[in-house]
Amino acid sequence: MSPDQPRSPQLLTYWHYPDVEPISYYRKGGYHLIYIDDILQNRYRIVNKLGYGRYAALKVLAAEVSKKISEVAILHHLKQRQLNDGGSNGREFLMEFLDDFKVEGPNGTHQCIVTEVLGPSIGADVEEIYGAERYPIEIAKKLVAQVIRGVAYLHSCGVVHGDLHIGNVLLHIPGIEQMSCQDLQKYLGEPHKGPLSRRDGKPVIYTPHEPKYVVSSPERLELLQLCLNSPEAVSLKLCDFGESFLWDDKPMITQLNTPCVYAAPEIIFHDHISPAVDVWALGVLMHMVLSGGYLLFNSYHGIKKEVLREMVLTLGKFPDGWWTKWEDRSEYFDEDGTFIGDWTKLPPVSGKFLKIPSARMEKEELKELERVIRMMVSYGIMDRISAAAAVQLTPESRMKCISPDS
């Protein structure tokens, strides 16, 4: 997890490379220094890097985040519930938490979380695998059904995820339980190390707070192919509980860092939040996966006011409490909620609810999908269906994926 906004002058000192974390994050209160072949707790050896700010087998939080995070408490709570629950009830779609501990370093004290190793997110580029930028519809349906069940199980445990989006849903690696470290490395490749490089061309003067080298995230195509090789075996896990909180049936006001394109209006307007925020995000995620990448509330730039504009164009005027809080509303609407802007500057799909090509699903299926998602993104928080209700509206048959070639 990234530290808060970097305050270091390193932000402009070093070049930033693709798939490498900003060097500015290595400072007091920031990232911990970890190198290939480091051994933590006399037990865990660092063999590769899957990413930064994302889950892998080991997640090390920035020191500032470690002081305030409740993620470990959430994971312990879920692990205890999973130990007590038997059978297949959605628990299999949550990332498995294995261990946690703290490490000391020059940048502070860091909370470490050990989890199962998972593959790329469901938002990974699948074009080289399927010849298109979207999943085959049968696989997309299966992924959606699994996410719904995972969220429903999470809510049954009294936990709200708070940051549900495709980047926090990772593919399971089939057969990983039988793989050796060497087997897994075949899919990840050898770690690629690179030196630090200053923008001004001057020699790097290392301090105790900066890494001696950086490691780029590996090319993930082979791992992605492994995860998607068998349609019948495709499976996913919800992960990253850094924004999660325990729910006790009492509406609360707290700040969540959900990406605005997935955020329910009550998050954006700092209103009372509840499990309904996950249901809203789930509806957006379902649409994105089934459509092949189209946002439910489209925005060219992912800007909050544009997302709010699309909500109003698609669902109608906000309730008065939210409407009056939206300071930018006069750029787009009069006080009755009528659009007064320039339609030619909007995305072509503005105001359209489903952006799913008609060839992708049957007409009646599209109608039913729209009915379900509309119930998930209702402005009325009490009117939104629960994740458990969404499970009931998702046929069990979707869980049994049929190969497109069969």
Provide mean pLDDT across the span 368-384: 96
Min mean pLDDT across 16-20, 26-30, 98-102 is at 16-20
- Residue 400: band (very low, low, confident or very high) from pLDDT cuts 50, 70, 90: low
Rounded CA-CA distance 107/63 in Å is 7
For the chain, give the mean pLDDT. 87
CATH number belonging to domain 10-296+353-399: 1.10.510.10
Rounded CA-CA distance 118/227 in Å is 9
User: For residue 282, what are its two tokens?
Assistant: 């789930």
Q: Flag whether pLDDT at 6 surpasses 60.
A: no
- Residue 3: band (very low, low, confident or very high) from pLDDT cuts 50, 70, 90: low
Backbone angles phi, psi at 9, to 5 degrees: -65, -10
User: For residue 321, what are its two tokens?
Assistant: 């409490």
- For residue 384, the surrounding DSSP H or E stretch is none
> For residues 45 and 38, is the Cβ–Cβ distance under 8 A?
yes
Provide mean pLDDT across the span 348-363: 91
pLDDT digits (tens, 9 = 90+) for 232-248: 899 999 999 999 999 98
Percent of the chain with pLDDT over 90: 58
Provide mean pLDDT across the span 158-164: 96
Q: According to the model, what pLDDT value does residue 399 have? A: 58
How far is Cα of residue 229 from the mean position of the Cα atoms in its chain?
Answer: 23
**CA-based angle 116:120:122, to the nearest 5?**
115
Q: According to the model, what pLDDT value does residue 55 have? A: 35
> For residues 271 and 281, is the Cβ–Cβ distance under 8 A?
no
Q: According to the model, what pLDDT value does residue 319 have? A: 97
Rounded CA-CA distance 128/365 in Å is 28
Q: Residue-wise over 198-211: b if at least 16 C-beta within 10 A, else e?
A: eeeeeeeeeeebbb
How far are the Cα atoms of 113, 253, 289, 351 from residue 271, in angstroms, in the given order?
Answer: 31, 6, 28, 25
Q: According to the model, what pLDDT value does residue 325 have? A: 97
Q: According to the model, what pLDDT value does residue 126 have? A: 92
Rounded CA-CA distance 48/215 in Å is 8
Min mean pLDDT across 67-81, 126-140, 155-169, 329-343 is at 67-81
How far is Cα of residue 22 from the mean position of the Cα atoms in its chain?
Answer: 20
Min mean pLDDT across 7-11, 91-95, 278-282 is at 7-11
Rounded CA-CA distance 326/319 in Å is 11
The model's pTM: 0.89
Q: Flag whether pLDDT at 56 surpasses 50.
A: no
DSSP string, 322-390: HHHH-TTGGGTB-TTS-B-S-GGGS-TTTT-S----GGGS-HHHHHHHHHHHHHHS-SSGGGSPPHHHH
Q: According to the model, what pLDDT value does residue 49 have? A: 84
Q: According to the model, what pLDDT value does residue 5 have? A: 45
